[in-house]
Amino acid sequence: MKKHSNHLPLRHIEFDGPACTPMFRRAANTLSGRLLLSTLFLLLINLPIQCLFAHGTVTSPPSRVWTCFEEGPETPESPACIASIEAYGTQAFYDWNEVARMDADGMHRQIIPDGQLASAGRPDKYGGLDQVRSDWIATPVTPGPFTVTWTMNAPHETLYFDVYITKESWTPDQPLTWDALELLVRTGPRPSSTRDDIDVILPQRKGKHVIYSIWQRSLSKEAFYSTSDIDFGNNPGQNVAPKAAFASDNGRCGGPEVQFDASDSYDANRDPLTYSWDFGDGTTADGVSVSHTYGLLDSATVTLTVSDGEFTDSVQKTIQQLVKDPDCALNDCPFGTPTEVPLPSINDAYGYVHILGEGGPDLSNVSVFTINWDLRNNGLYHMALNTSNGVPGWYIDLGAIATQNFNSPEPEITLTGTGYEGLDGTYYATVDDGNFVLVPVDRSFTIYISNSEMAPPCGSAGHDHDHNHGHSHHSKSAEPALTTEIGASYEIYPNPAVGSLTVQSASDLKNSVVMIMDLVGKEVKSVTIDEHMSSRSIDISDLKSGIYYVKIVDASGIEQGTRIYVE
C-alpha cells in the first residue's frame, strides 16, 4: 500500500479552488511563498498535461472524487475519503475533473479492467476510488425519474453520455465490474456546455448501489469516468405504480387519421405493462402503438391507461384538428427526410438558398452559406452564412447557436437566435447530390442550399414518393415494394428502390433508352436496351440516397418519365 508523505509536492501548496487552480494564498505571506509565485511558469510546466486542460465529473449525485474534494483533500471528513487520501495522497482529489483516459475512443471495457472502473484503469493515481467498502458517502434516492448532472470546468462537445446502475444482486462488499452494471441510458451528441443533465429512470433497488457514468467526447478519443454512490434505503422491494405517457400525430395539416404511441410510459420495477386506449368517441384499443380514424369530430379527449398487474396510471389529452385544414399546403420536396442514416460529411460553400413550399423564412439576402461537417470525427467545425445587406448581420455563425445529432440516424439540427423570422426551429438534415437540405420536422417547407441558380423541380410526384418512403420508414414491419406506373406503357419498381430498379413494359423494350437524372437535371445514368425484352433490371447501387427523375425514350422517340426515391 502506498504511504502518503507528510511533505507536500510543490504543486500541493494551497489549492483553495477547483483542480489545477493553485491560489497560493498562504504561500504569498511567506518569503518562500513569494519566491514560488515568482517562478509560476516553472510550476505550470510541472503540472500534468491533462491537468492543464481540466474537464469534469458528476456532481449530482456527487461522485466519490467530488465528495472528497468538497470535504477538502487536506482535511477529509468521511472514513472512505480519509482512507483514500492516506493511501494515495491528495493530488488525485485536487484533480477531481481528470478521472479520464486519453485513449478511450469508446473502448471502455477493453481498456479498463474489472475492479478499476472508478479509477478509470489508473490505480496509481486514483486507486483510492476503487476501494471496496460500504461507507462511501451515498445520496438517498427512490425508484423513478432521476437526473444525473455532469459539471465541466472545461466544456467539450459530447459524443454521448452513458449512465449505468449496479445490478440488483450487487452489494457494496463487491468490486465494481462491468458485468455488475446495467445500462440506464446512452444519450446522443450534445454541444459544449459547463453542465449537462441526463434524465434516467432508476429501477427498483434496495440498499446501497452505484451510478457509473461515462462522458465520451467527440473530436477526441478522450473519455471521463465518474462513480457515485446512492442509497435506496432498506425498504423491501415494494411495487411502484407505473407512469402513463403518450404522444399523438395526425400530421401538420391535421385530419381524422391519428397515430398514438405510448412508448414513453415506464415502470420503475421494470414490470411488463399493458396499454388500454379510450379514443373518446366510444371506441377502444390495446397496445403500445395504435392508430385510429375518427368520424365527424373536430376534437376528441383520449385516455391512456397503463397497468403493471397491480397498479394503474392514466393520462388524458385532447386531440385537436381532426378535420384536415383545406388551406394547409403540403411540402412536395422533403427529400426523404428523416433519413435512416447519419448525415454524410460535407464541406462546401454555396451561393444560393432556395425555399421550397409555403411559409418558410425569407433568406433572399444570403450571399454565401458555408458548412464543414465531418462525420468520422463527429465535428460540426463550421456552419455560417453571410448576407448582402447586413440584416440581421453581415455574418451569422449558425454553428455557435445550433445543437445537432448529425452522426445519428434521423439527423437533426436546432437553430435558436438566428435573427431571421421563421428560421429558428428544428430541422431534419440531408445531402442531395452535394447540396445541403434542411426540412422542418413538421415538413412544412424545405431549405435547399446549392450552387445552382435554379431551384430543384418539385411536384406532386415527388411528394407521393416521399410519402410512401416515410410510411415505410416509420412502419414497424417491412412494407411491400411499391410500383410506379408511367402512363399505360411502363411500370417501375420497387419505389423506393435499393440497389436496383426494374423497368417493366407492356411492349418490347428493344432500342429504348432509360435515363436517370438528379433533381437539377444532370444525367447520372443511361442504359440503352439493345435486345428484345419486356423487363430490364438496372443497377443503381452507385447512386446516392435521394429523389431522381427516370425518363424512358422508346424506339420511336416518345418520352415518358416519373420520379423515384433511391434509399
DSSP lists the bridge partners of residue 356 as 446
Q: Domain spanning 247-319 has what CATH number?
A: 2.60.40.10
CA angle 102, 107, 109 (to 5 degrees): 115
Cβ atoms 43, 36 nearer than 8 A:
yes
What was the pLDDT predicted at 92?
A: 94
Report phi then psi at 479, rounded to 5.
-95, 150
What is the pLDDT, as a whole number, of residue 64?
97
Supply the pLDDT for residue 18: 37
> What burial letters (b/e) apply to 56-88, b meaning 16+ CB within 10 Å?
bbbbbbbbbbbbbbbbebeebeeebbeebbeeb
| 450, 350 contact by CB (below 8 A) | yes
Alpha-helical runs (H) found in 114-192: 123-126
End-to-end CA separation in angstroms for the chain: 60
Q: Tell me the torsion sign for CA atoms 462, 465, 469, 471.
A: positive
419 — phi, psi (to 5°)? 90, -10
Q: In what order do the strands lie in the sheet with 247-249?
A: 247-249, 257-261, 289-293
Q: What is the pLDDT of residue 473?
A: 28
- CB distance 235 to 305 below 8 Å: no
Length reported for the chain: 567
pLDDT of residue 236: 60
- Alpha-carbon gap, residue 42 to 36, rounded angstroms: 9
Cβ count within 10 A of residue 149 = 15
Proportion of the chain in helix, strand, coil states, percent, rounded to 5: 15, 35, 50
SS3 461: helix
Answer yes or no: are the C-beta atoms of 223 and 104 closer than 8 Å.
Answer: yes
384 forms beta bridges with 370, 397
247-319 and 484-566 have identical folds: yes
Tell which CATH architecture fits domain 10-231. Answer: Distorted Sandwich (2.70)
Helix (H, G, I), strand (E, B) or coil at 543: coil
The SS3 assignment for 474 reads helix
Q: Which residues of the chain have pLDDT under 70?
A: 1-54, 235-237, 329-330, 459-488, 519-521
363 near 355, Cβ under 8 Å?
yes
CA–CA distances in Å: residue 15 to residues 10, 21, 28, 44, 129? 11, 6, 13, 13, 20
How do the domains of the chain map onto residue ranges? 10-231, 247-319, 346-450, 484-566
pLDDT (0 to 100) of residue 40: 44
Residue 479: helix, strand or coil by DSSP? coil
**Residue 470: helix, strand or coil by DSSP?**
helix
Q: What is the 3 state secondary structure string of 85-115?
A: HHHHCCHHHHCCCCCEECCCCCCHHHHCCCC
Write down the pLDDT at residue 14: 35
Query: For residues 7-38, b (16+ Cβ closer than 10 Å) or e, as one string?
Result: eeeebebbbeeebbebebeebeeeeebeebee
Contact 185, 141 (CB under 8 A): no
CA distance 556 to 115: 78
- Give the pLDDT score at 346: 93
Its pTM surpasses 0.95: no
pLDDT value of position 207: 93
472 three-class SS = helix
CATH number of 484-566: 2.60.40.3080
